[in-house]
A and B are shown apart, each in its own frame.
Chain A
Amino acid sequence: MQQFLTTALSGLTQGMIFAAFALALVLIWRSTRIVNFAQAPMAMITVYIALVIIDAGYSYWLGFAAALLSGLLLGAVVERVAVRPVEDKPHINAVILTLGLFIVIHALAAVIFGSRYRSFPAPFGLSGFKVGDMNIALTGFGVFSILAVLAVMLLLVLLFRFTNVGLMMRASAFNQEVARLLGVRVTRMLTQGWALAAMVGSLSGLLIAGGNLVHPSYMDSVVVFGFVAAVLGGLDSPIGAVVGGLILGVSLSFVSGYIGSEVVALAALVILMVVLLVRPGGLFSHAPARRV
């Protein structure tokens, strides 16, 4: 029972982080029809920026803010410089481009920050709460992770539902041509979308790093988990991404706890395959068949 509860709770925390990452992928997919595989290294390098600031003796929160801000900037720059030229090309070019970015950012981080493992601090306790004499696996940092992701989701909902910018971003994601005719500066919206997504990605990178070891490829498997979570939710639906992230986090946590942490990625692959073969549109998709 103790192990079951522990596994479920840590899965829930992990699931929230996957949800944030999946959300970042979905944001970009909705606006540009690109799956940004470079999301993982982009998040990783912003976490390194935070680490440098924290190691220099400044507070954790300064590093945290710097990472989010640099994520925002990096997303905008990547969209402007690299993604813009391939946006109207065959989709395979965009995928290859994000993979090229993947390699480049990876190598850059290793050259600048070194490829050894470094520990990343956490602002809250990492030991579980005690209720009576039962040790509950929910740590202070875990609670913070869940709250942070929830806050970001709330902010995104507010942005997209109740602000002008959010409406314009939704319009340009929905139909670029019509949005442009109605006076929306679509390219600017796309840049903002990428920036926002990269920031959400950075947040999940920070949350995964907290209390753990950081090295240039520590996010590599997360991009797979985030992708699987996004596909679970249909790749098109933000709510789907969140639910998909939670389902995936809990399932993977059980696989890791009862079978072995080595096969977690394999389990993710199996889940992805099953979903794609049984329900290719994901659990929440409302898009009908692919149009010719």
Chain B
Amino acid sequence: MTTFAQRLWSSTLARHLLLAGLGLVAVALVLESTSAFRNGQFAVMAYMGIAAGGLTVLTGLNGQLSLGHGAFMAIGAYTTALLLSDRDGAPPLLVALLVATVVTLVIGAGVGVAAARLHGPYIAGATLALAIAVPGIARYFQDTLGGEQGLTVVVPDIPGWFADTAYFITANDVSTSKYVAYVGWISLIVTYVLLANLSRSRVGRTWRAVRDNDVAAEIAGINLGRARVLAFVVSTACAGLAGAVLALAVRLAAPSGFMLTLSLALLSAVVLGGLGSLTGALIGAALLTFLPQVVTGVGLDAGLSDLQAAELAPLVYGLTTILVVILAPAGIVGTARIAWRRRRS
């Protein structure tokens, strides 16, 4: 029996599917036992997690730094908003999510082809320019993209089969915010299974080789450009999906939601969690979601005004990012892994 379990565990796909199944059960338990407000927060954590997962694969496995993931999320969110602008004639939710992902992927491929030829600070600067430029596009095309006010998103009706299944299992009615949280977390689990498999596969090894030593990788027969573009495309597709979930969760796509701070927050989340680790990305996303409330509360108690207290959260995660880079560049997961290995050996 142990041999069967061991064999199951040593198969990458089976292990990841098993973990995904466990994750789904955990998600259902958590979402059913928490309030509607918490459900909304978990939806936020889901889209942050999806985007951070994509970014950690790009930066951690392939060594490319993108400061423009907020911009790619904006593309996903705006696509979703255009598709789901009113209840009649809207495509099914799954179609909207897929279209948003594909649209972002196509644009990401364009940027990726340009970015693959860059290295070091150039790619950071180019994606930074992207993050600054994209909100301006939404403001410029006021008629189609709604200008400063943005576009409102109508969450489609909860499908009958989903409501029935959920009622059958949990004996609770599904509210819209809980439905969105489920959609977000199921998207996250699917994305993470795909990313985890990819990073354990030949493609992932190629990416690591390119990151560690591009000259050696090229001599070994790896097409550097193709590997870099592929990593960028996969990563932007995640950002597009994250943007789509964001549009559902916030029910709005507006330029103010995609300022530079979003891209920087994502980066600090993946650095904090540990570059290249999906678990780390999820931890980072959780911190980005739940830390602000705690820190803002502390700030208010200390006598700061609302606006000032709201800025404490970025202060804290910016400081932690600096400290992590200086003291423990491997991040939370990486450092824990190193400590664990040291204890075993």
Contacts and interface: CB of A to CB of B under 8 A. Distances in A.
Interface residues of B, number: 49
B114 interface: yes
Contact of B268 (A29, A86, A100): A100
A229 B41 CA distance: 41
A85 B326 contact: yes
A197 B125 CA distance: 18
Interface in B104-161: 114, 117-122, 124-126, 128-130, 132-134, 136-137, 139-140
A92 interface: yes
B126 A269 contact: yes
Contacts, number: 147
Interface residues of A, number: 52
A265 B121 contact: no
Could you say which of A89, A99, A115 has the most chain B C-beta atoms within 10 Å of its C-beta? Answer: A99
A97 B125 contact: no
A35 interface: yes
A107 to B, nearest CB: 4
B98 interface: no
Given A102-B264, A265-B136, A224 B129 contact: yes
Contacts of B313: 107
A23 to B, nearest CB: 16
Interface stretch (B197-205, B245-253, B314-322): B314-322
The 3 closest A-B pairs by CB, nearest first: A103-B318, A100-B321, A107-B315
Given A100-B268, A265-B136, 4 more contacts: A91-B121, A95-B121, A103-B315, A228-B125
Interface of B: 59, 63, 65, 67, 114, 117-122, 124-126, 128-130, 132-134, 136-137, 139-140, 215, 259-261, 264-265, 267-268, 271, 304, 307-308, 311-315, 317-319, 321-322, 325-326, 329
Interface of A: 29, 34-35, 37, 82, 85-86, 89, 91-93, 95-97, 99-104, 106-108, 110-111, 114-116, 217, 220-221, 223-224, 227-228, 231, 235, 260, 262-266, 268-269, 272-273, 276-277, 280, 290, 292
